[in-house]
Structure 1
Amino acid sequence: MSFWEVITSILGQGLWITLLTTFLSAILALVLGFAGGLMRLSRNKFVRFIVGIYVEVFRGTSLLVQLFWIYYVLPMFGITLSAITAAVLAIGLNFGAYTSEVVRSGIQSVDEGQIEASIALNMTKIQRMRRVILPQAFILMLPNLGNQLIELFKSTSLVALITLTDLTYQADVLNATTLQTTQIYTALLIIYFVIAWPMTKGIQILERKLTEGRM
């Protein structure tokens, strides 16, 4: 097989599965991250404790083990999930924990004077968060959120281990049938880079657009 035939064979269905897993996992991670980050700043100790357990468990254990646990262990408790659902849930929960810390630190980085000024204007807590704190915090979070997105995308390669036919799975199957190991995994490296590079540049462009006139 030529190098381009190898790339075409790997892409196949694998590209769609990888992109779908990335997209759904990223949405789940963002929702959990923002919810968790805000809850970590709650005055309610019980809420902070529960979210703290979630964050520490998912940051302190391997994503691969979490993926295996959700896909292989949950069925023993009567909860059977499809491979794509298990993959999205594991990756989303894992990166949601990391994202919650990015959100928490971003909010805490907003200048205290901004918050005091919004209080002086008689804004409610929700108004302060929506109009003053989050717009500024989001700009501070953006570089880290971008890094999390790239790491999440690369982590989707693990889903091949639960038989999900992503790019890595397709490459493994092709390698088993052709034994062209060098060509196949070089092509896989190039494919992942070509997909990740626009994500990186997109985050950088968004960051520049949001910071225009603010510096």
Structure 2
Amino acid sequence: MHWISYLPALGRGALITAEITLASLAIGAFLAFLAGIVRVEGGRILSIIALCYTELFRGTSLLVQLFWFYYALPLVGFSFSPVSTGILVLSMHVGAYGSEIVRAGLKSVPQQQHEAARALNFGPVHKLLHITLPQAIVEMMPAFGNLAIETLKLSSLVSFISIADMTFRAQTLRNLTQDSTTIYTLTLVGYFLMSLVIMVAMRFLERLARRGAAFPKAVQS
């Protein structure tokens, strides 16, 4: 078969890969900021809960997590569709690793900024939203860019729970045609192109953050 004949099936798989990756990044970013902020500002009990979540999902295999949520969890009465399971597990993965990025970013804000906020009598929420986060986000962006690309690559694991993503469709085509070289080369190119899109998007967001949100004039020391 000519390599062009493989593109429609791989293209449909790439759309599913993109959908799962984008959904996981969006939900995971929310979890990352929630857990990361709680680790720094949430008090002892909430911080311990966030730490347990972070270490659990960072310290166990993502593939085993997929299997547990898809095969084991239904045995106790909770079941999800394959796509929902893939998005859920990848989101928790992004949230766990991203929370460490958020925590490190918040810790990187100079102490003088905190002192200036106290001198201006800013409350904790106002300080977080208008002082700490805008500066910390700038430091977080490169690491979040790496995490986004890593999430795209890890999304190939959802093929193990029968999601027809790009990897699943590549394997199906390979089983039908035995044309391993062409099919897997096209799959590699597909993931590389999607990684380039993510990289460009994250660098654009980083430039926006550096130009607009970083270092509010009100608290410059």
Q: TM-score range by the shorter chain?
A: over 0.9
What CA deviation, in whole Å up to 9, does each residue of 1:60-81 have, x standing for no partner?
Answer: 0110000110000001101111
Aligned to 1:2: 2
1:142 aligns with 2:141: yes
Matched residues in 2 for 1:78 and 1:210: separation? Answer: 44
Aligned to 1:125: 124
Distance change >3 Å, CA 181–CA 43, structure 1 → 2: closer
- Normalised by the length of structure 2, the TM-score is 0.92
1:151 aligns with 2:171: no
Q: Which moves more between the two structures, 111-120 or 158-167?
A: 111-120
SS class of match (1:160): helix
Within-5 A mapping of 1:59-138: 59-138=58-137
Distance change >3 Å, CA 185–CA 43, structure 1 → 2: closer
What CA deviation, in whole Å up to 9, does each residue of 1:148-184 have, x standing for no partner?
Answer: 1111111110000000000011101100111100000
Amino acid at match of 2:184: Y
Matched residues in 2 for 1:87 and 1:209: separation? Answer: 31
Amino acid at match of 1:117: A
Aligned to 1:203: 202
- Cα contact 1:15–1:167 (8 A) shared by 2: yes
Matched residues in 1 for 2:41 and 2:202: separation? Answer: 29
What CA deviation, in whole Å up to 9, does each residue of 1:93-124 have, x standing for no partner?
Answer: 11210000000010010011111111111111
SS class of match (2:41): coil
Aligned to 1:15: 14
SS class of match (1:41): helix
Residue 43 of structure 1: CA displacement?
A: 5.3
Aligned to 1:24: 23
Amino acid at match of 1:23: L
- Cα contact 2:137–2:209 (8 A) shared by 1: no
Distance change >3 Å, CA 43–CA 86, structure 1 → 2: closer
Matched residues in 1 for 2:185 and 2:80: separation? Answer: 33
The root-mean-square deviation of aligned C-alpha atoms, in Å, is 1.5
- Cα contact 2:21–2:152 (8 A) shared by 1: yes
Residue 24 of structure 1: CA displacement?
A: 1.2
Unaligned runs of 5+ in 2: 216-221
Amino acid at match of 1:84: V
- Cα contact 2:158–2:165 (8 A) shared by 1: yes
- Cα contact 2:40–2:106 (8 A) shared by 1: no
SS class of match (1:122): coil
4+ residue stretches of structure 1 with deviation over 3 A?
212-215
Report percent identity of matched pairs: 37
SS class of match (2:87): helix
- Cα contact 1:7–1:184 (8 A) shared by 2: no
Aligned to 1:44: 43
Matched residues in 1 for 2:86 and 2:178: separation? Answer: 28
Q: Which moves more between the two structures, 98-107 or 111-120?
A: 111-120
